Chain A
Amino acid sequence: MMKCAEVRKFVRLYLDSELDTKESFEVEQHLESCAECAGLFEAEKKFDQRLGRFLRDDLPTRTLWEKIESQIAPSRSRGIKALWPVALAASLIITAGAVFLARSRPLDLARAVEECHSAYAHQITTPEFSGTVPEKIVQQFGGRLDAEAFAYRPSERAFTSSGARLCHVEGIPVALILGRCAETPVSVIVFEKSELDHFPQTKRKLESGDPIACSRSGRFQFAARVVDDHVVCVVGDEPRPALEDLLKTVRRADG
């Protein structure tokens, strides 16, 4: 078993995922049993999270990327008359590709919440509380969230929750309910419906008659719908139909 001095030597490498499985396991084992090292580890994790937020917060500038992508050389035709069937086929492929890419691009909200869930799935995020929302957390809502947001849960039996925490997605306060479906981590993210303006793609989709907006972002599936005055999202490494079914069972505990 590793000792404190050894673990402290390795903690930074552990956080950077540079240790092998055996060393990682030994660090984890020590952290479970040593409050002092666990405290230092938590402080480092917070530092990483805060620095990460500062460094990677900006969303990509769409107009810039459209300009850059448009400059990636399209095909050049050699004698248009002779090659018009090829040109036509190529343009059809490009159109189909563009449609496929547009469809396969993650929704804005899916991209925004991916990081939240990823941090949970990698055990960087842990619950702050379970049960009633503590007053000190309510004070951080800044009038943009209510405690009811933390009362949503899927009624699906396979879903279990270890607790919740307050998070910020694109600066918006959200309730993050940390759960599992069997062994798979699943996050339920709830925020005020009025904040949907920050995610125009998702808003359009939900207002176009689809009760559920689905997307994939990174390796996670994402599904969202409006329940009462809130937007409820579920994110996880689960098949899309399973995630949609789970979302359909989400209810507010008090109602």
Chain B
Amino acid sequence: MGQDEQRFRFLSLLRPIERDLENYSRRMVFERCDFEDALQNAVLRAFRAFDRYHDDASFRAWMFKILTNEIFAMNRKRGRVAQFEIAVEPQELEEFAALDFAPAAAGPISWDALADALDEELLTALQSLNQSERAVLLMRAIGDLRYREISECLGIPIGSVMGNLSRARQKMRDAILRARRRSL
């Protein structure tokens, strides 16, 4: 494949997911100013490796993996993370399920009444997530990746993906409960 043709094909796959990649990068970097560099480095790195990308794989998952590696490297440089944290034991399905439903059990939520308080609390909660919880949550919520794809991206077992996702969601749910208490 010629380089122009390759470039054209790469861009046609990249453009539909630019928004998701940018949202992911913005929320994953520990220093806000790093998000542009992370995106730029990841896209250039992906283009250079594009001849190794195979059509039968998901381009979205492939790009998220490259971007995630780039972001982890940047976060490491900032000295906030010594290495990729996988301080998780694979979770049993029972536990995964048991952590859910807390806000629902606390009664119905009037989302509109929470308004700005909710965004504030969600942002605080997002910042409190460790790197692996944050990556898993964002890959699922922004990247729309399957558990298997996330597990391959991060090189961790599916059980750890589920455990991280569960804990991350629980922290975000707690944020909703805090916002609700504030609005009462």
Which residues of A are at the interface with B, using a C-beta cutoff of 8 A?
Answer: 8-12, 16-18, 39-40, 43-44, 46-48, 50-52, 54-61, 64-65, 67-69, 71-76, 90, 93-94, 97, 101, 104-105, 111, 140, 218
Contact = CB atoms under 8 A, between A and B. Distances in A.
A40 B140 contact: no
A104 B104 CA distance: 43
Contact of B101 (A44, A73, A105): A44
Contact of A101 (B15, B40, B109, B138): B15
* Interface residue SS majority, chain B: helix
Nearest to A94: B4
B8 A97 contact: yes
B97 A218 contact: no
A200 B5 CA distance: 31
A118 B94 CA distance: 31
Given A44-B104, A68-B43, A90-B4, A101 B122 contact: no
B138 to A, nearest CB: 7
A67 B36 CA distance: 10
B97 A60 contact: no
Interface stretch (B19-27, B57-65, B73-81): B19-27
Nearest to A58: B23
Interface residues of B, number: 53
Nearest to A218: B16
A141 to B, nearest CB: 12
Contacts, number: 120
Most chain A beta-carbon neighbours within 10 Å: one of B43, B104, B173: B104
Contact of B118 (A48, A50, A58): A50
Nearest to A111: B19
Given A40-B104, A46-B109, 13 more contacts: A43-B108, A46-B111, A47-B169, A50-B176, A51-B141, A54-B123, A56-B19, A64-B36, A69-B14, A69-B43, A75-B3, A94-B4, A97-B4
Interface of B: 2-5, 7-8, 10-12, 14-16, 18-20, 22-23, 26-27, 36, 39-40, 43-44, 47, 93-94, 96-97, 100-101, 103-104, 108-109, 111-112, 118-119, 122-123, 126, 138, 140-142, 146-147, 166, 169, 172-173, 176
A58 B2 CA distance: 35
Contacts of B172: 47, 51
B4 A75 contact: yes
B87 to A, nearest CB: 22
A60 B4 contact: no
A9 B97 contact: yes
A50 B111 CA distance: 8
Contact of A17 (B2, B142, B146): B146
A39 B27 CA distance: 31
Given A47-B176, A72-B11, A75-B4, A11 B100 contact: yes
Contacts of A40: 101, 104
